[in-house]
Amino acid sequence: MMIYTNTWGYAKPYSTFLRNQFHLPFIIIGILMVIPVCTIKIRCLNMIKNENYYWIRTGGAIIFIVIALSPFVFAYFKKDNIQKSFSNRLTLMTYNIQQGIDMHGNNNFEGQLTLIKKINPDIIALQESDRSRISGGNSDVVRYFENNLGYYSYYGPNTISGTFGTAILSRFPLHSCQTIYSYSTDDEIGTAITSINVNGKEIIISNSHPNGTEDARRAHIKEVIEIASNNKSIVAFGDYNFNQKSNYYKEITKHLNDAWLSVYPDASVDIESLKATFYYPWLLEYEGIANGKLNMSSRIDHILVSDEFQVLEAHYLPEPMSGTDHPAHWVVVGWDENENK
């Protein structure tokens, strides 16, 4: 029952009624646990009263208060990872982490974290980062990355909504965080949206992971286009599950620019030009290299930016070197200093 609350779209029709009923299995189990207790005769237990009772009660109250306030204390002293003299340049990364699992189904939190640290992005959009997954031991990968990077984070869709997770991590504080749900048929489609402020410039960030029928995809892309139309500075990350030949791609790129094609218009890059990068040795092992070029024309992981951003660099590290079943994609963007005013 627990699994069907998330995978309702893949076992129709008898699983559909469990859609997002995340609480239902717990209610049933809870009732079954309470029934035996209710059948036991309740006896009156006299509380131990002695000369130490006052101090026991006081000590317990103090311990409770300390535990209750500790999250606020840790939050106050949390490492501030913002660069105060930040230039008009950002490194942006989109990363489908498959719940922290590599190509072979093994936990790879540390490997993915190591890669992120090497890339050193300012903004990270994570897909398939959901926490309420039995097969993953309910591991909170977002918090793991957040704590180890010292970044701010917004999980996006909550753990009950049955999505695959679209989280956003940032060196900068996140403002006006919200999640927009669009029509869906197989999976819940929740797009995480937030904003950051860089030297006075407000930038809207969105992170998507759509799936389902044609109608569901069309509804989702309509939402993203509306966000782009209503904001001047926007970066739309995502595992969009469509490539550059699809109609959905053609629709969204009428409003936003594909960062990869901005640097490599034919979607391929000569790997010899990447010798100075840390990931060049890994690319030499990739079977997808043909004629000395990395061709990414079939990519489905995109970073889309508004016109005012100039894409200075664009990179793809294919799987399995990326530590998951998707490539790691990151770009460096800049903008005119006057845009901050």
pLDDT(305) > 80: yes
Assess if residue 96 is contained within a domain: yes
From the DSSP assignment, how many helices (H) and strands (E) are in the chain?
8, 15
Check which CATH number belongs to the domain holding 147 and give it.
3.60.10.10
Q: What is the pLDDT of residues 25-50, one digit of tens each?
A: 889 999 999 888 777 765 544 555 55
The length of the chain is 341
Highest average pLDDT, of 52-56, 83-87, 186-190, 321-325, comes from 321-325
Assess if residue 50 is contained within a domain: no
Phi, psi of 83 (to 5 degrees): -85, 115
Average pLDDT over residues 294-321: 95
Assess if residue 5 is contained within a domain: no
Q: What is the pLDDT of residues 160-212, one digit of tens each?
A: 677 888 999 999 999 999 999 999 988 889 999 999 999 889 999 999 999 88
More confident residue, 14 or 165: 165
- What pTM was computed for the model? 0.83
Assess if residue 293 is contained within a domain: yes
Q: What is the pLDDT of residues 225-245, one digit of tens each?
A: 999 988 889 999 999 999 999
Average pLDDT over residues 284-306: 92
Assess if residue 213 is contained within a domain: yes
Detail the DSSP E strand segments found in the chain.
Answer: 89-96, 123-127, 152-154, 166-170, 175-182, 189-198, 201-208, 234-239, 257-258, 268-270, 289-290, 293-295, 301-305, 310-317, 328-334
pLDDT(9) > 70: yes
> What pLDDT sits at residue 60?
82
User: Three-state SS for 330?
Assistant: strand
Assess if residue 299 is contained within a domain: yes
> What pLDDT sits at residue 133?
66
Q: Phi/psi class of residue 157: alpha, beta or left (left: φ > 0; alpha: ψ in -120 to 50)?
A: beta
pLDDT(341) > 60: no
Assess if residue 279 is contained within a domain: yes
Assess if residue 70 is contained within a domain: no
More confident residue, 63 or 56: 63
Chain-centroid distance of CA 301 in Å reads 13
> What pLDDT sits at residue 51?
55
Mean of all residue pLDDT scores within the chain: 87
Query: In total, how many domains does the chain have?
Result: 1
Containing domain of residue 164, as a range? 89-340
> What pLDDT sits at residue 117?
96
By the 8 A CB rule, do 37 and 174 touch? no
Q: What is the pLDDT of residues 130-144, one digit of tens each?
A: 866 666 677 889 999
pLDDT(308) > 50: yes
pLDDT(274) > 60: yes
Q: What is the pLDDT of residues 203-230, one digit of tens each?
A: 999 999 998 899 999 999 999 999 998 8
